[in-house]
Every structure is written in C-alpha cells, then in structure tokens.
C-alpha cells in the first residue's frame, strides 16, 4: 500500500504541477489566467479519480478560501463514472440483508439510474407497504430509488484521502495556499467523505428535513424506507420532476415557477433562521420541481448548522444589507469569527460600503450574490481568515438566489429574508438580557442627540 500511495503522490503532484500558473498563462490578463488554470485543474481532478472529484466539489462550496474562477469551475465537476456491474451491486445488497434483491423488493432493475464515485442508484418497487414514523404510507408496488455504496469505494477513497493529506502537507505555507489552510481543508474533506460513506447519515438528515417541513405541502423530501436501508444501502421514495435545465417543459406542463421560486427561497430562510440547519448543496441536480407543483429536495450530503447566537448575528448582517450599514455588517461578522486586523478595518469598511451601494439590480431588486461573494473576496484580498461555516452559508444563500432566479428572475432574496429577520430582531428586543446590553448604547445615542 505504501508503494502504491507513493506512486500516486508522484503522479498526482506531476499532474497538478503541470497546470499550476506557468509560461502558458503567464502573459494573459489576471482573470483569463486564473480561469484557464481553474479549468485545467478541474480536468486534472476528474482524471485523478473519485477522491479528487469529491475534493473539487468541496472547493465549489468554499468561496471564502478559493478564487471565484476556481469555485465556478469546480461547480461543473462531473461525478459520473462508469457503472459497476449489476452483479456487484446485488452482492452488496445480499451481504447487507442476507437476501437477494428479488426477495427484498417486488422488482429490482439491473440498469442503474445514476453512477457516481461513492454510490450507484437503481430503481426498484416495494414488495410490501412501508409506514414511516410521520408522513403518508408508501404502498406495496411504490417506486423507490436504491442507493448502494460501490464495492471497494471506501477503501479506495480513504486511501486517496491520505494521498491528498500528504499533498496538503507538501503545499502548506507556500504561495499556492496563501488564502487557505490546506491541512484544515483536508480534515474537512475527510469528514465529508466519512459522512457520505455511511448512507444512514444522509437518510437521517432527510428524515429531519421532512419533519421540519411536515406542515408545508409545497416541500417534498423522499421518504426513507428504513427496513431496506443500512450504512451501505439507502432506499428512498422515487420522485419524478424536472431539473432547472428543463423549466420550459415544466412551465408547459402547468408548473407555477414564480410561486415555487418564492416558496423555495422562503423555505431556505426557514431552514436558516428558524431551525438552524440547512441543505448546503442546492445545485440544480439536487432540486426538482414536480408535476404536483412542489419543490423536491434531494441528496443531503452537505449540511450546514447554526447555533441560536449565530442565527442572531446572521440576522444582523442581513439587516445591514437592508439598511446599507457597513459598520453593522462588520460588527456582527466579527461576532461570527471574521476578525479584521485594525490596520485593515477602514479599507474593508470602505469596500463594504461600495458593495452595499452596488447591490441593486436594474429591476430594483437586490443582488445578494453581488454583496455576499463580493464581501468574501474583499476579506480574502485583505488576508482575513473566514470561518468555514460563514463562507458556506453565504455561498448557500447565493446559490439559493441563483436557483430562485432561474424560476423567477425578478425575485428579491433579501426581501424574502426580511420577515424572518424582523421577527428575530423583534423577539431579541423583548429579551431583558439584550435590553440591558443595549441600554448603555441607547443612552449614549440619546445624549448625542440632546447635545447636538
């Protein structure tokens, strides 16, 4: 194994060094050079295999640490791989349950619906009805999607994770990694892979999400069939619908895209501001609109969490966006772990003011992505470390805005958040502890007014 890893390291380093900024891009303008390098790096990651594909996907949700060009390029990372023969998938199911698929299901299709680096999905039908803890019963004969961890995937990917770790140690402290800590990124990456290799974790969050929105008929989550699920096999309700690339077909079928855009954005605000846990990977492949005029959420591999205090601070940052208040944005970002060195506070405040002034689109709606991603870029330019949760949330809000605008271009994501932020701030104003905390500042403000 050691010799194999050493060989992979040599090949990988050679592959990556080949696409690092070089004479090929040296004379090109900065944005062109960065875009060319990002494109070459993405293609190299795809050639290097599953672990690097997963790493690329992690980079795609981390605009706090990577350039806009690299993040955008990694969003196009392809996780499609040749399918494992059906016999190998059937063997995994048989090993997990002690029975062949034909015994466990009424039907099981050998042709996969999708094949990715960690798991492969096959269509099946239930042999008997399934009654979840909440939600409607799935009847016998109901279509389900059976997600199965590919044989050998865990050993292969975990071995490559160690390769990535050795690379991170090699690049730590160099100019290439001046904007991020490569070892910390690999640790986060390893934790993500561990979660994905145990399909029960995805199933648990899907159930939690379904429970959170049990009173919302417009939000649909696949019901998990736990009697046919293990760490290596996850059986879930099969949902049909249209991806965002098929919206014209959906509209022709009578889907209310405008209504679903507004409802979907509101649902995300509810995840963030009410529950403090949110789907953090809502790219177009993970969200459908259905013939029943619902929004279907799929693939809960990347999840974000917020404490009550973090939710309050995020609320204040959103309020700063509404009122164009750079001081408030900086003050509450500091509470979220964004520490701007004293010597950089004024230029960061000035840059933030320009972002706040420039976030209005020609149609009068506000552009959260312009503000949020611009803020992350501004902090990066001043060498400010950004907590991963903060960057992930801003990226998720920007993604939700993009998804919503694909459905309804005139949507204003900031206005969608206002009812939630107003409610939270109103509740905080009634909190005696917070009233006592705010009293000295209120008195000082009143004295300034009286003496002017």
User: Catalytic residue positions?
Assistant: 281
What is the C-alpha separation between 310 and 38, in angstroms, rounded? 33
Residue 442, C-beta contacts closer than 8 angstroms, at least 6 positions apart: none
Residue 57, C-beta contacts closer than 8 angstroms, at least 6 positions apart: 74, 77, 79
Q: Hey, what are 102's tokens?
A: 């034909």
Strands 219-220 and 295-297: parallel
């Amino acid at each position: 194994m050691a010799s194999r890893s050493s060989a992979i390291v040599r090949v990988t380093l050679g592959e990556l060094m080949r696409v690092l900024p070089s004479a090929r891009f040296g004379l090109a303008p900065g944005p062109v050079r960065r875009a060319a390098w990002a494109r070459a790096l993405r293609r190299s990651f795809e050639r290097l295999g599953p672990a690097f594909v997963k790493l690329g996907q992690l980079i795609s949700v981390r605009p706090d640490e990577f350039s806009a060009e690299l993040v955008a390029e990694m969003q196009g990372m392809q996780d499609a791989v040749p399918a494992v023969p059906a016999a190998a998938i059937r063997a995994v199911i048989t090993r997990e349950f002690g029975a062949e698929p034909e015994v466990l299901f009424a039907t099981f299709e050998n042709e996969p619906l999708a094949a990715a680096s960690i798991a492969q999905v096959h269509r099946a039908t239930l042999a008997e009805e399934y009654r979840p803890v909440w939600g409607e019963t799935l009847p016998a004969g109901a279509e389900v999607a059976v997600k199965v961890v590919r044989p050998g995937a865990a050993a292969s990917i975990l071995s490559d994770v160690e390769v990535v770790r050795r690379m991170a140690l090699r690049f730590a402290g160099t100019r290439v990694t001046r904007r991020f800590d490569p070892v910390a990124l690999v640790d986060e990456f390893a934790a993500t892979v561990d979660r994905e290799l145990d399909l029960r974790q995805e199933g648990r969050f899907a159930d939690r999400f379904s429970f959170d929105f049990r009173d919302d008929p417009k939000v649909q989550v696949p019901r998990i069939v736990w009697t046919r699920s293990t760490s290596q096999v996850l059986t879930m309700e099969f949902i049909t619908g249209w991806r965002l690339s098929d919206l014209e077909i959906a509209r022709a079928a009578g889907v209310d895209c405008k209504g679903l855009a507004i409802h979907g954005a509101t649902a995300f605000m509810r995840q963030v501001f009410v529950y403090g846990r949110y789907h953090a990977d809502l790219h177009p492949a993970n969200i459908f609109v259905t013939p029943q005029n619902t929004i279907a959420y799929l693939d809960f591999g990347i999840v974000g969490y917020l404490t009550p205090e973090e939710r309050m601070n995020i609320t204040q940052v959103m309020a700063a966006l509404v009122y164009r208040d750079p001081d408030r944005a900086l003050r509450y970002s500091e509470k979220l772990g964004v520490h701007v060195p004293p010597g950089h506070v004024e230029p960061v405040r000035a840059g933030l003011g320009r972002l706040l002034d420039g976030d209005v689109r020609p149609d009068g709606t506000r552009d959260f992505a312009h503000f949020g991603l611009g803020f992350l870029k501004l902090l990066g330019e001043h060498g400010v470390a950004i907590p991963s949760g903060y960057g992930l949330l801003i990226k998720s809000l920007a993604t939700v805005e993009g998804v919503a605008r694909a459905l309804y271009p005139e949507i204003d994501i900031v206005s969608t958040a206002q009812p939630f932020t107003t409610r939270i701030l109103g509740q905080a104003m009634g909190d005696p502890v917070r009233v006592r905390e705010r009293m000295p500042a209120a008195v000082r403000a009143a004295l300034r007014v009286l003496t002017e």
